[in-house]
Amino acid sequence: MNGRDAAVERLLDTGLQERFADRRAPDVREAVAARLAVPAEVNRPADHRHRLATAALVLLGVFVAGGVAWLRNDEDAAQVQEPERLIPPDLPPSLIAQSAAALARIAADVTSLHCMYEVPASDYQLLERFVALRRLAITGPAVTSPWPADVFAPFTAMPALTVLELPLQPAMTPEHLRSLAKVPQLQFLTLHLNRPLLAKDVAALQALPNVRSLSLMGGSLDAHAVRAMSLLPALESLTLARIGGCTEPVLRELRTVHRLRRMRLYGIGETSRASRLGSPGVAGAGLSVAVAKALGELPLLDEVSIEQCSLSAEAVTLLPERLRGFALTRCPDAGADVVEALLRFRGLRRLELDRFERRWWITSTAARPTPRVGPPEFDAATAGMPDQEPIWRAQAELLRKLPVQRLRYWSALPAEVAEALPAAASLAEIELVWCGPAEIEAVAKVQKLRRLRLESCRFTVEDVRPLTAVRSLAQLDLRWASGSREDYAALLPGVAVTVQ
Amino acid sequence: MSAAPPPAPLDLGGLVTRHQQSVWRYLRVLGAAPDLADDLLQDTFVIALRRGLVDQGYAATAAFLRATARHLYLKSHRRRVALREVEEADLVWQQECSTDDGAGWFLALDRCLDEIPPRGRRLLEGTYGEGLGRAALARELGLSVLGIKTALRRLRAALRDCVERRRQA
C-alpha cells in the first residue's frame, strides 16, 4: 500500500469511527481558553514527561473510581458518558414577577427569574441588581414603544447569565441583538418574535460568540434568515416553535446550517387530529419528506425533537441513521408506523415519548379544565383518536431493541411500555412526567437505573419505597412533589435526593 | 505618522468551533490515533494562538492551523514516521478535503453507508461501533474468520469507490 492509499484508508477509518462509534473531535474551546489564560512557561504543550505524569494521574483516578465503585457495589459506575447535552442546565424553578412592584420585592441573589408581564423599556433597568442570575426570561405581549439602544445593558453585569429568553419587539433593531454580545456567558438564547425575523437580525447574532442554542418562537421567518444561521459561530441547537413562514423551501435551507447537532420542531404543520382538538399548529411543512432529506444532509446532526408537528414514517426513514436522540411527543397524526420507523436509529441513546392525553390539547379557544397535578384522564371517545395500543406496542419495541440509556415519558406508562422497561438493557436514566405510584413500581424493575426524575407526579413518600430495592439508584430528582427532601433521603440512604 | 489600527479582538470560541473538527480529522489522516489527535488538537490551537494567529479569513486560518498540527504530529513521532508519508497524507487532504474541510467527503461516505445491505452494515457496526473481534462477528454472521476479513476488505473498497463516484458526479 502506498502512502496515498494509506492516507485514504485512514480517512475512511475516521469516517467509519465517527459514524459507528461517535468518535469525533472533542470540543476544546474551554481547554484552549484555560491554557491561554496562564503564562506560557508553565503550560507548554504536553511533552513526554508530562504525558507520563498525566498517564499516572489518570491511572490513579481509574483506581480511585474503581475502588469507590467497588465499595458502593455499583456495577454501573463505568456507564458510558454521553456528550454534553444541548439543553439548558437544570436550574431551580424561576421566581415569577408579574409586575414591576413584584420585581422590586424579589431578593437580589435569585438565580432564576421570569418576568411575566408587559415589560416596558424602563423596567429593564430594574433588572440591573440581579447580578447572580443564571436564567432570565422576559415574556409578555408586544410593546410597540421605541427601545433605547442600551436597553440590554443590565445583562452585561450578570457574569453567570447562561440562559436568556427575550421578546423581539417590533421596534427593536439588529443593533439591540448585537449588544447581547457583551453578555459574557450567554449560551442559550430564546427569542419570542413579535415581528418577522430577518436575515440582518440573524447576522447581528453572529457577534454572540458562545450562543450554542437558539430558539425562535412565534412570529415568522424566511429562507434568508434560515440561511444566515449557517454563519452563527457556535450554533449547535435550533428550535423553531410555532413560527410562521416555515414552508418546505424555507425549512430546506436548514441543510446549510452545518454545525447543527440538535434540531427541534414544535407546532409546525397542520395536523388534522390536532386541529380537531383545537390546537391546529402553525401552517407549514412540519417534518415532510423534503425537510427530512435536508436534515439528513447535516453532517453533525445527533438529536431530533418533533412535537405537535405533521410527519410521516417515510420522513423519519430519511433522517440520518446515526441519530443518538429522538423525541416524538404530541403528534396525534403519528401512528404506530412512525414509532416503528424509529427502530432504524440503532444507536439511539436518548428517547422521549408520550401517551396521548386529550387534556394536553385543550387550548384557550376550548373549554379549559381545572389544572391539577397528576396524570390527566384519557378520553379517547371524545378525542376521536384511533386505538392507541399499536402505538404503545411499538414504543415497547423501541425500548427492547434500541440501546436507550435515557428515557423521558409523558403521562402514565401504558402496560406494554412498563413491561418492556426491565428488558431495556442499557436504560440508566428515566424521567417521568405526570406519573403515579404504578409508574414508580414499574421503574423499580429497571436493573441499571441510576437516576430517576419525577415531575408533576402524584404520590406519597411511602409510594417510593419500591425504589429501595434498586441498588444502582444514585440520584432521585423530584419536581413539584409532596414531601420534604429529608423524608425521601431517610427512605433511600445513599441516594442523592433533590426536591423542588 | 499615524499608528496602525489595533487588530480586531479575536473570537476565540468561534475560531476553535469553526476549525476543531477539520483539524482533528486532518490529524487522523496524517496518522494520529484518536487519543493523540485529541491532545494535538488542543496543542495546535494553543500554540497557533500564542504565535499570534489572527483570523485572516477561513482558508488562510485553516492552512495555518494545519501547518501547526502537522508540525506537532511530526514532532510527536520524530523517530517513527517518515516525512514523505506525512506529506503524502497532506496531499490527500488538499485534494479531497481542503475546499470544504472534508464535509463533502464525509457526507458522501454517509450516503454510501446508507446504501450498504443489512449484513454489511452489521459487520461495520460490530467492527467500528462495538469493537467486536473477527471471531465474534464470524459466529454472529455465520462466516469464517477469514470470510469476515475478506468481507471487510471488500466493503471498505466498495465504500472508497462509492465515495469517489459520488464526489465526481
pLDDT tens for chain B, residues 1 to 169: 444 444 455 677 788 888 999 999 999 999 998 888 888 898 899 888 887 777 677 888 888 899 999 998 888 876 566 778 888 899 899 888 878 888 889 989 989 998 889 899 999 999 998 888 889 899 988 999 999 999 999 999 999 999 999 888 7
Q: Does B124 reach chain A within 8 Å, measured CB to CB?
A: yes
Q: What is the pLDDT of residue A173?
A: 94
Q: What is the pLDDT of residue A25?
A: 87
Q: How confident is chain A (500 residues) per 10-residue block, as mean pLDDT?
A: 86 91 82 71 46 58 53 40 64 84 91 90 92 91 86 92 94 94 92 94 92 93 92 92 89 90 87 59 81 90 90 93 92 89 93 78 40 46 67 95 94 93 93 91 92 90 92 89 87 88
What is the C-alpha to C-alpha distance for residues A361 and A383, in angstroms, rounded to an integer? 10
Facing residue for B42 by CB, picked from A13, A21, A28: A28
What is the C-alpha to C-alpha distance for residues B12 and A54, in angstroms, rounded to an integer? 26
| B contact residues 28-67, partner A, Cβ 8 Å cutoff | 28-31, 34, 37-39, 41-43, 45-47, 49-50
Facing residue for A23 by CB, picked from B34, B91, B107: B34
* Runs of H (alpha helix) within A95-173: 100-105, 121-124
Chain A partners within 8 Å of B129 (Cβ): 20-21, 347
Q: Does A283 reach chain B within 8 Å, measured CB to CB?
A: no
Q: Does A50 reach chain B within 8 Å, measured CB to CB?
A: no
Facing residue for A25 by CB, picked from B24, B84, B93: B24
Q: Does B166 reach chain A within 8 Å, measured CB to CB?
A: no
**C-alpha distance from B57 to closest chain A C-alpha (Å):** 13
Q: What is the pLDDT of residue A36?
A: 76
Q: What is the pLDDT of residue B152?
A: 93
Facing residue for A210 by CB, picked from B13, B37, B88: B13
pTM given for the model: 0.62
Q: What is the pLDDT of residue A263?
A: 95
Q: Does A272 reach chain B within 8 Å, measured CB to CB?
A: no
| Best mutation target, B50, B109, B122, to test chain A (most A CBs within 10 A) | B109
Q: What is the pLDDT of residue A44?
A: 44
| A contact residues 125-184, partner B, Cβ 8 Å cutoff | none
Chain B's closest residue to A16, CA to CA, is B128
CATH class (in words) of the domain with range A93-415: alpha beta
Chain B's closest residue to A35, CA to CA, is B46
What is the C-alpha to C-alpha distance for residues A472 and A190, in angstroms, rounded to an integer? 37
Cell readout for A51 is 504525558
Instruction: Find out whether A258 and A238 touch, Cβ atoms under 8 Å.
Output: no
| Best mutation target, A5, A16, A256, to test chain B (most B CBs within 10 A) | A16
| Best mutation target, A8, A208, A256, A346, to test chain B (most B CBs within 10 A) | A8
Q: Where are the domains of chain A?
A: 93-415
| Best mutation target, A20, A178, A235, A300, to test chain B (most B CBs within 10 A) | A20
Q: What is the pLDDT of residue A277?
A: 59
Cell readout for A362 is 385543550
Q: What is the pLDDT of residue A76?
A: 41
Q: What is the pLDDT of residue A38?
A: 63
**C-alpha distance from B47 to closest chain A C-alpha (Å):** 8
Q: What is the pLDDT of residue A364?
A: 36
Instruction: Find out whether A344 and A317 touch, Cβ atoms under 8 Å.
Output: yes
